[in-house]
Amino acid sequence: MAMAPLVKVVLGTFAFAVFLVLAVFPAVPFLPIGRTAGSLLGAILMVIFQVISPSQAYASIDLSILGLLFGTIVVGVYLERADAFMYLSKLLSWKSLGAKDLVCRVCLLSAISSAFFTNDTSCMILTEFVLKVAKQHNLSPRPFLVALASSSNIGSSATPIGNPQNLVVAVNGQIPFLTFFVGIAPAALVGVFVNAVGIICMYRRELSSHLKEEEDANGEVVADDDTSFYRFLPATLPHFPRSSFQERSFMLDMQGSPSIHGNSTYFNTLRYRSGASETDMFRVPSIMLESAGNSSACSKWKPILWKSCVYLVTLGMLIALVMGVNMSWAAITAAVALMVLDFKDAQPCLEKVSYSLLILFCGMFMTIEGFNKTGFPSCLWEFVEPFAQINHASGIAVLAVLIVILSNVVSNVPTVLLLGARMAASAACISPDYVRKSWLILAWVSAVAGNLSLLGSAANMIVCEQASRAPDLGYNLSFWSHLKFGVPSTIIVTAIGLTIIR
């Protein structure tokens, strides 16, 4: 693509630079408006500077990606309500064999949940559980938080719904769910294993040494914060009155009538006239017991039935995706089905949807479309393309380095939007068989590149923020402590995965 006029190149590049700065640094001192507003500002500048027309800006928005993102978020909200993540978190400490076993479980659980429920959602929900597990075993939280964040990025690469950039790859590359999964899942599985081994080796001292145990003065076991612990001591045992007539005195009226407790003759007369024994007088009617029992049974089975419906709908969505049904409509259909089955106002669940993320994508689509219109990205790709041929190992290495750098500088989704079509066109010139491989390589490297630094992916930032804000469990995961592990892990896992992807 030829370069646009110089004025359009300069203005378009300036608009993209504004978007880029606010995307990487959402709270810059001179314009602290955040990523979402920054993406809209970049899009508006592209239109104001006449780099693209308003109609071109609207046409650049990919509704299928937005629909798929919306549907998966809604399904994740209902799965959270159905305690799916709570059940998954219980696997962390079930029959644990020690600290190293816990690290491996965190890695595996994070990868699996991220592959099917997106990495951001998994990290947001599992962070506090991981902190609790570390506290219960008197271990440093750092290895477990690193395991959660890094494995979520690796595991999310296995499916098109694992992270936002995979959605772009699957839709733009027209790759079916099963093809995508078969192509990357083996690399993701090996990558999670290598990542777990790396964490165990790097943090072996922290995993082998326990923190100072906290015990109460009497040496008794102290219950967890979320556990209801009750001591059955004589002073606290419940007492049940044999009869209210034997415990209290009731006056028949306000004018000095004899009390029932003090007048056995009057009480016996009442019992004789009614023809019932003392216990019969205070027996609850059987119809009331039956209705109470039915009510209790209904209240017990209703949530179980509803949770089962949520799991079945989610399973149906995954089966539909595997069978090649349109991913966007499959996700939206599952989301609407859950709203209907809930039989309640869906507003509370819809309010949990990150609409700012959807707007961020809209602004990003328009901004990158304008940047592409300047011709600047095409000229840069023409310079790099001779060294980045996908049919040579050296070319794949150059591509991987380029994707890792751009993913940490520009962010992974813009990187995929900028490079995807160009890599596919270059691969098609070599052989049509390489087209899908180019898309899968882009998905794999852009996902794993998020492990390089704490700012490399949103999942990393979520873990860091959630860990620092957790009540009574707060832990600050520093930038340098993550970078120390992230650099070697990213290089090794990326290289191993590239040899496995087919």
Max distance between CA atoms of the chain, in angstroms, equals: 111
What's the CA dihedral at 123, 125, 126, 128 to 10 degrees?
110
pTM for this entry? 0.70
- The share of the chain scoring above pLDDT 90, in percent, equals 28
Residues with Cβ within 8 Å of 433's Cβ and at least 6 positions away in sequence, in order, are none
Does 120 map to a domain?
no
pLDDT above 70 (res 252): no
Choose among 478, 371, 286: nearest CA to 42. 371
Confidence of residue 208 (pLDDT cuts 50, 70, 90): confident
Between helices 142-156 and 177-202, what is the axis angle to 10°?
Answer: 160
pLDDT above 70 (res 228): no
Hey, what amino acid is at 93?
S
Does 285 map to a domain?
no
Choose among 88, 171, 167: nearest CA to 130. 88
Question: For residue 209, what pLDDT is reported?
Answer: 63
- Between these two residues, 452 and 259, which has the higher pLDDT value? 452
In this prediction, residues 244-257 reach a mean pLDDT of 38
Confidence of residue 247 (pLDDT cuts 50, 70, 90): very low
Question: For residue 138, what pLDDT is reported?
Answer: 83
Does 219 map to a domain?
no
Choose among 195, 256, 219: nearest CA to 485. 195
pLDDT above 50 (res 261): no
Do 190 and 495 form a contact (C-beta atoms < 8 A)? Answer: no
Does 96 map to a domain?
no
Does 471 map to a domain?
yes
Give buried/exposed letters for 329-342 (b at 16+ CB in 10 A, else e): ebbbbbbebbbeeb
pLDDT above 80 (res 241): no
Helix ranges restricted to H, 54-163: 54-59, 63-81, 84-90, 99-117, 119-136, 142-156
pLDDT above 80 (res 478): no
Question: For residue 291, what pLDDT is reported?
Answer: 53
| Tokens standing for residue 111 | 């990868």
Question: For residue 292, what pLDDT is reported?
Answer: 53
Does 71 map to a domain?
no
**What confidence tens digit (pLDDT) does each residue in 399-417 have?**
999 999 888 877 788 889 8
In this prediction, residues 237-253 reach a mean pLDDT of 36
- Between these two residues, 163 and 85, which has the higher pLDDT value? 163
| Tokens standing for residue 123 | 């990290």
Question: For residue 93, what pLDDT is reported?
Answer: 66
Number of structural domains the chain divides into:
1
Provide the domain limits for residue 443.
6-60+355-500
In this prediction, residues 365-380 reach a mean pLDDT of 89
Q: CA-CA distance, 352 to 481, in Å (whole number)?
A: 32
Does 482 map to a domain?
yes
Does 397 map to a domain?
yes
> How is residue 175 annotated by DSSP?
-
**What confidence tens digit (pLDDT) does each residue in 75-100 have?**
888 988 888 777 776 766 677 677 88
- Between these two residues, 465 and 159, which has the higher pLDDT value? 159
CA distances to 66, 150, 376, 383 from 10, rounded to whole Å, are: 30, 38, 10, 20
